[in-house]
């Protein structure tokens, strides 16, 4: 009874922090012949939706099972199934068909049953089933995050789904230190205790090649060799910051402070460690909470660490989880100190750069003799994040060639049409590859269809939302805008409506909205922020300014009408919520 009362009080507190007044209404009657980008955007949403249906028909059976060989581990495993569908829920939230969401639901439920039954007899944690309590038993967050990418974005389209809320709570609870079956989190040291963790808890003894790679594959025994130096999995790793997506969604769905507090505690501990380490992200935190504690004090040591044996695997994932977890902490608070470790790490890499043949090369590895492993990878996706979070010109220092950001700054007007055209060509090529695919269920690995996966949301997220695409690693969506259909009461742009963000500043967003239908009026509710985290000040259209309070404005577009809108805002002013506008 006390727990129920406390939850009700917490929910009431959360709701009273939001505004109950209906959003302002802006009416647009100015005719606008549909621009090429608008027609292409609508056509791409339709094409992706149709391609998703064809893809599911080819690779998914009537139970929702993926037609593949069921294996465990980092070579190909259960995470690869849902990674294949990573963009589907986000596509729906952009305006893709309802059928896409229905298919995702079928595939998600099917893969849970499929891999709960599947076993890896040689492993410590998956011998009785690869999933337990509907979650991977114990693996690293390079793979676990990829398997959850679509799951996270389901909150954008179906936040009211009770079973989804229950799962998010349960999954987040695996990492908060209170679940006796999943003792992953050490509250005292603010660490996750192993790089291999999940619903059956962490592996803190020596991991075997089978824990990493599953069973020996006939004809390919060397598949396990890449993990022969990966036995020491004790202690925390920055990949584990991917768990913050679960805590964030649990908070955004429920408003319960415990989830927010845990994310900020865990991400904050990593922020402080990185800054204390001169801005370099440590790839091992010992069980005693010290940097490099399981690797002789070497901050660059560890399985999947900075100098993880390149002869076995080039995997040294120091940036992926940090980008996710620290970005989430910033979204929750608006505190730019959470982004500083990423900025400092990039500065350290650029300080050690090389220039060869006119190309800038950054070190990707570090060992006892310093930096090495130079490549062209400059982490432009992270640099984009930093700029979009801060809107500070200094964060553009290495992004001068970025075509989308140059468009937003008025320097690349042809970018939308060109980017959408490239997406159509990519989709055409992938569908052609799918039709020519001769693999069968008996020969197809779990990642065997990824090269034909039809849905790619990067261009649409850039152009429609003014955000950086979260990718397939298990990140949440950061965006300046999001859209809802008030007539059909669903997430995404309404039928016939197209949107193009043309300018971003720290205090404003400029977006063109157009109704491509010459016969029918359309209404669209515009939300500031992926989760309503930004507070509106005004919306200006056709020379008329309308005051805003809250994160929402509804725009009514006459048949064939369109207009450029400037929306003023205060960013990161509201608690992020996964909720439909009419439920606020």
* Number of residues written out for the chain: 584
Query: Contact 98/104 with Cβ under 8 angstroms?
Result: no
Overall average pLDDT of the 210-217 stretch: 95
Sheet architecture: strand order including 508-515: 497-504, 508-515, 562-570, 535-541, 544-547
Task: Provide the pLDDT for residue 14.
Answer: 46
Which tens digits make up the pLDDT trace of 45-74? 999 999 999 999 999 999 999 999 999 999
Overall average pLDDT of the 425-454 stretch: 98
Q: 369 burial class (0-12, 13-18, 19+ CB within 10 angstroms)?
A: exposed
pTM: 0.96
Query: Contact 275/341 with Cβ under 8 angstroms?
Result: yes
How far is Cα 361 from Cα 346, in angstroms, rounded to an integer? Answer: 12
Q: What is the distance in angstroms between the CA of the first residue and the CA of the last residue of the chain? A: 26
Query: What are the structure tokens assigned to 385, written together?
Result: 């994040």
With a CB cutoff of 8 Å and minimum separation 6, the contacts of 188 are 289
Task: Provide the pLDDT for residue 310.
Answer: 60
Question: What band does 430 get if pLDDT is binned at 50, 70 and 90?
Answer: very high
Residue 401 clears pLDDT 50, i.e. is over it = yes
Task: Provide the pLDDT for residue 7.
Answer: 40
Task: Provide the pLDDT for residue 222.
Answer: 82
Residue 10 clears pLDDT 50, i.e. is over it = no
Q: Report percent pLDDT > 90 for the chain.
A: 93
Instruction: Quote the mean pLDDT of the chain.
Output: 95
- Which is nearest to 237 in space by CA: 164, 297, 302? 302
The owner of tokens 């002789």 is 296
Overall average pLDDT of the 253-278 stretch: 98
Query: Contact 77/130 with Cβ under 8 angstroms?
Result: yes
Question: What band does 474 get if pLDDT is binned at 50, 70 and 90?
Answer: very high
Query: What are the structure tokens assigned to 5, written together?
Result: 């009362």
């Amino acid at each position: 009874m006390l727990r129920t009362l406390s939850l009700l009080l917490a929910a009431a507190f959360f709701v009273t922090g939001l505004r109950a007044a209906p959003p302002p209404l802006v009416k647009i009657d100015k005719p606008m012949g549909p621009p090429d980008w608008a027609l292409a955007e609508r056509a791409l949403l339709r094409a992706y939706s149709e391609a998703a249906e064809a893809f599911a028909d080819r690779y998914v059976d009537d139970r929702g099972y993926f037609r593949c060989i069921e294996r465990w581990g980092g070579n190909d495993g259960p995470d690869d199934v849902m990674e294949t569908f990573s963009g589907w829920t986000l596509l729906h939230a952009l305006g893709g068909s309802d059928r896409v969401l229905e298919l995702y639901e079928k595939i998600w439920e099917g893969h849970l049953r499929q891999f709960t039954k599947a076993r890896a007899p040689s492993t410590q944690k998956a011998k009785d089933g690869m999933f337990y309590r509907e979650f991977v038993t114990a693996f690293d967050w390079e793979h676990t995050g990829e398997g959850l990418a679509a799951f996270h974005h389901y909150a954008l389209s179906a936040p009211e789904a009770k079973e989804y809320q229950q799962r998010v709570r349960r999954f987040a609870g695996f990492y908060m230190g209170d679940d006796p079956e999943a003792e992953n989190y050490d509250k005292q040291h603010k660490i996750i205790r192993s790089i291999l963790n999940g619903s059956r808890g962490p592996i803190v003894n020596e991991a075997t090649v089978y824990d990493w790679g599953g069973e020996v594959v006939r004809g390919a025994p060397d598949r396990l060799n890449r993990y022969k130096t990966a036995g020491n999995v004790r202690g925390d790793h920055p990949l584990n910051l991917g768990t913050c997506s679960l805590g964030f969604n649990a908070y955004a769905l429920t408003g319960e402070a415990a989830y927010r507090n845990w994310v900020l505690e865990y991400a904050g501990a990593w922020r402080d460690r990185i800054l204390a380490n001169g801005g370099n992200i440590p790839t091992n935190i010992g069980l005693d909470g010290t940097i490099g504690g399981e690797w002789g004090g070497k901050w660059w040591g560890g399985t999947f660490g900075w100098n993880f044996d390149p002869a076995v695997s080039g995997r040294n994932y120091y940036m992926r989880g940090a980008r996710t977890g620290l970005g989430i902490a910033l979204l929750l608070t608006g505190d730019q100190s959470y982004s500083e470790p990423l900025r400092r790490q990039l500065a350290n890499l650029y300080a050690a750069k090389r220039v060869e043949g006119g190309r800038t090369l950054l070190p990707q590895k570090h060992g006892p003799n310093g930096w090495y492993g130079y490549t062209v990878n400059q982490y432009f996706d992270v640099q984009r994040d930093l700029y979009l979070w801060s809107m500070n010109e200094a964060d553009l220092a290495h992004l001068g060639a970025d075509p989308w950001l140059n468009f937003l700054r008025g320097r690349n007007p042809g970018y939308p049409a060109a980017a959408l055209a490239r997406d159509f060509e990519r989709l055409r090529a992938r569908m052609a590859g799918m039709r020519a695919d001769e693999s069968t269920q008996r020969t197809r690995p779990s990642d065997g269809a990824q090269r034909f996966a039809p849905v790619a949301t990067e261009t649409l997220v850039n152009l429609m939302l003014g955000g950086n695409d979260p990718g397939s690693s298990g990140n949440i969506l950061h965006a300046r805008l999001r859209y809802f259909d008030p007539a059909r009461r669903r997430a995404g742009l309404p039928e016939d409506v197209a949107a193009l963000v043309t300018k971003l500043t720290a205090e404003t967003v400029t977006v063109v909205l157009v109704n491509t239908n010459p016969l029918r009026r359309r209404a669209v509710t515009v939300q500031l922020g992926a989760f309503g985290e930004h507070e509106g000040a005004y919306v200006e259209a056709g020379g008329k300014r309308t005051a805003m309070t809250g994160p929402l404005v509804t725009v009514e577009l006459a048949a064939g009408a369109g207009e450029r809108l400037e929306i003023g805002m205060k960013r990161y002013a509201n608690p992020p919520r996964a909720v439909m506008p009419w439920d606020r």
